[in-house]
Amino acid sequence: MNRILLLALAPLAIPAPVAAQAMDQSNMPGMQMPAPKKPAAKPTMRKPPTQRPRPAVPRASASTPARPAVAKPAPAVAGGADPHADHDMTTMPGMAMPGAPAAVSAGKHDMATMPGMEMGPGTADHGTGGTALAPGNAPAPAPPTDHYADRAFPAAEMARVRTDLYREHGGGSFHQVMFNLAEYQARKGGDGFRWDGEAWLGGDINRLVVKSEGEGAFKGGGVDSAEVQALYSRAIDPYWNLQAGVRYDFKPNPSRTYATIGIEGLAPNWFEIEGALFLSDKGDVLARAEGYYDQRITQRLILQPRVELNFAAQDVPENRIGSGLSNAELGLRLRYEIRREFAPYIGVSYDRKVGDTARYARLDGKNVGTTSFVIGLRSWF
């Protein structure tokens, strides 16, 4: 009898150590566990009760309503509805979310309504606002025409201030005087001099430009050639100016007056280019092309190659000019910018008369080609 009693109590004694080692998670937030049930009383060896007959269950009839059938949820289909749509997390014990919005309580996944998930304009609704604009070639929106400062200050006073601002940032008048070349030329047969400069007054678009250049010799020759130009300059784009005006030659005699049209500007790769056509009061047509490039060796030391070409459409015997390419000047000058507006230089210059112009020079007993070592000053103010 004792052996039978021990065998009956053995299954109840085995789970006790395991239950003692389980972690107590009832104190964790959101993990309220239902109250544990009291262990069942130890069974006692009693005689089985006498079975009593079960009462008969009446069948459903027309007068007795039938028990409603409980519908089983349909299994989730891959790629179909959201499998979490019917999961109401708030009804689970210990999973209540304080302050949760209605959309979350209803089981819907609306990220924009969750606390701390505020989204900027144009992100919650990708069809309106923000940077999610529809692709296409639609024109840009018009700039605003109102000025916010006019809401706090008199409109007339603000209009005057804006006018001053425009003038100070590109709408004003400026001026500059520059000598590109002002040099002494040491050469065989007599030293000489040369100048090439310009001055302008105006704004970014419209300017009045005065140019002058010439050369001569110190011994007996005096000024061999001298000219001055008065031009109206108009900017046709950020890098090029169109110029028109008059040119007057003081030397050589007889003097000439020319109508002038030209262009100057900055070509790609930082080449300074000038070109002009001249029509004299006698019907003579001349042309000139100049170009130079500043190659920076250091921030202050600059090497400048330079070329100037002069052309004539016909012979002008009284001025000793022949048709075609009349003369060419090639130069190479190295300058040092003590300041940007004050830069002494040294270099070499080669001047060559060509074609009929060279023939006129030989008839007059002059050199056709001359090489000069130069020293000069490039300055502006």
Per-residue pLDDT, 88? 55
The CA angle 38-41-45, to the nearest 5 degrees, is: 165
Residue pLDDT, tens place only, 356-378 = 999 999 998 888 999 999 999 99
Task: Provide the whole-model pTM.
Answer: 0.59
Three-state SS letters, the chain: CHHHHHHHHHHHHCHHHHHHHCCCCCCCCCCCCCCCCCCCCCCCCCCCCCCCCCCCCCCCCCCCCCCCCCCCCCCCCCCCCCCCCCCCHHHCCCCCCCCCCHHHHCCCCCHHHCCCCCCCCCCCCCCCCCCCCCCCCCCCCCCCCCCHHHHCCCHHHHHHHHHHHHHHHHHCCEEEEEEEEEEEEEECCCCEEEEEEEEEEECCCEEEEEEEEEEEECCCCEEEEEEEEEEEEEEEECCEEEEEEEEEEEECCCCEEEEEEEEEEEECCCEEEEEEEEEECCCCEEEEEEEEECEECCCCEEEEEEEEEEEECCCEHHHCECCEEEEEEEEEEEEECCECCEEEEEEEEEEEECCHHHHHHHHCCCCCEEEEEEEEEEEEC
| CA nearest to 310, candidates 342, 283, 340, 288 | 288
- What is the tens place of the pLDDT at every residue in 191-243? 999 999 999 999 889 999 999 999 999 887 789 899 999 999 999 999 999 99
The model's pLDDT over 105-121, given as tens digits with 9 standing for 90+, comes to 444 455 555 555 545 44
Return the DSSP state at 368: S
| Phi, psi for 62 (deg, rounded to 5) | -65, -30
Which pLDDT band, with edges at 50, 70 and 90, does 352 fall under?
very high
At 39 the pLDDT is: 57
C-alpha 47/C-alpha 338 separation (Å) is 124
For the chain, give the mean pLDDT.
Answer: 78
* pLDDT (tens digit per residue) in 64-119: 445 555 555 555 544 455 555 555 555 555 555 554 444 444 444 555 555 555 45
Q: Is the Cβ–Cβ distance between 224 and 252 less than 8 Å? A: yes
Share of the chain above pLDDT 90, in %: 50
